Amino acid sequence: MKTSAGEDILEAACLLLEKEKSIPTVRKVAGRLSEDEDRVRKEALELEKGGFLRLEEGDIIELSEKGREAGLRTIQKHTVLERFLSEILGMERAAASEEACILEHDISDETADRLEGFIAVPRGRGRRLQRGRRRLLTLADVPEGTDLRVVTVRCRGGYERLADLGILPGETIRVVHILNHKAVVVRVKGCDVALSPEIASSILVERLQ
């Protein structure tokens, strides 16, 4: 079992190895984490039992394949969370990084992937297809007659009006009409609402089964 302290060690060791190209030791890892060397050593021994790493002569940490994967995964989660917190939610970089250090241990792989996908989608229209990633479904991507559930409303200006009309996360809507340039008419609460393309493409939806 890896604990959050264990994950921190794997992450730090990975960073040292990949980014700084230096051999990770207990001291260096403890330095990065601002932790007591003895505690790091104790935790590392636990990780050794789990097969994540091996403690060599001179406190050198040698990551196993499993340990490297776990470390990289944690780094990825950290980066995604930090970007999400700072770029999307507007937190300070430093505070976001600190928060990410705590959150990275608890979020699932799926959440991290979805968050990454979310951040990867650029705001404007048309650029959406550039990335090969699994892209999120928006109101502008579905055919007429589809029943949908609103997942997120991402547009900034004037989205209070959307909420007033009932277009907010969790609400079920149906696409009634689509014009050539992707303006849509959706039915929400029995009323038809026309939305222009830039608004339609910033409303993330999922299909109802």
Partner 1 sequence: MKIGLIGNPNVGKSLIFHQLTGIGVEVSNYPGTTVDLFSGTLCYRKERIDLVDLPGIYSLEGKSPEEEIVRNFITGEEVEGLVAVLDATHLERNLYLLLQVAEYKKPLVVVLNMMDEAEKRGIEIDREKLSSIIGTEVIPVTATQGKNVGEIIPAILFRSRTPDITIPYDLHIEAAIRTLVSVHGISRVVALQALQGMVDDPGIAESAGTLAREIEEVHRMSVQQIIAGNRHRCARVIAEKVIRKREEVTAGSLDTLLTSRVWGPVILCAVLAAILLSVFSIGSYLEEFLVGSFESLIVQPFLSLGLEPLPEQIGLAILLALQAGLGIAFPFIFTFYIFISILEDSGYLTRAAFLADSTMHRLGMHGQGIIPLILGFGCNVPAIMGLRLLRTRRERVIASFLVSMIPCSARTVIIAGIVAVFVGFGAALSIYVITFGLIILTGIVLSRITPGERYGMILELSPLRVPEPGNVLAKSWYRIREFLVIAMPLLVAASIVLGLLQYIGFFSLFAELVAPFSETILGLPGYAASALLFGILRKEMALETLVILSGTADLASVLTAGQIYVFAVVSVLFIPCISTIAVLVKVVGARITFLVSLYTLILGICIGALINILVV
The pairing of strands 203-207 and 53-55 is unpaired
Contacts to partner 1 by CB under 8 A:
89, 153, 155, 157-166, 168-171, 176-177, 179-181, 183, 185, 187, 189-199
The burial class, CB within 10 Å (0-12 / 13-18 / 19+), for 124 is exposed
83, 119 contact by CB (below 8 A): yes
Residue nearer to partner 1 on the CB measure, 44 or 85: 85
For the CB of residue 104, give the shortest distance to partner 1 in the complex, in Å.
17
Residue nearer to partner 1 on the CB measure, 12 or 195: 195
Residues with Cβ < 8 Å from 69, sequence gap 6 or more? none
For the CB of residue 105, give the shortest distance to partner 1 in the complex, in Å.
19
For the CB of residue 167, give the shortest distance to partner 1 in the complex, in Å.
8
- Residue 92: helix, strand or coil by DSSP? coil
Residue nearer to partner 1 on the CB measure, 60 or 159: 159
**Residue linked to tokens 């849509």:** 184
Residue nearer to partner 1 on the CB measure, 43 or 99: 99
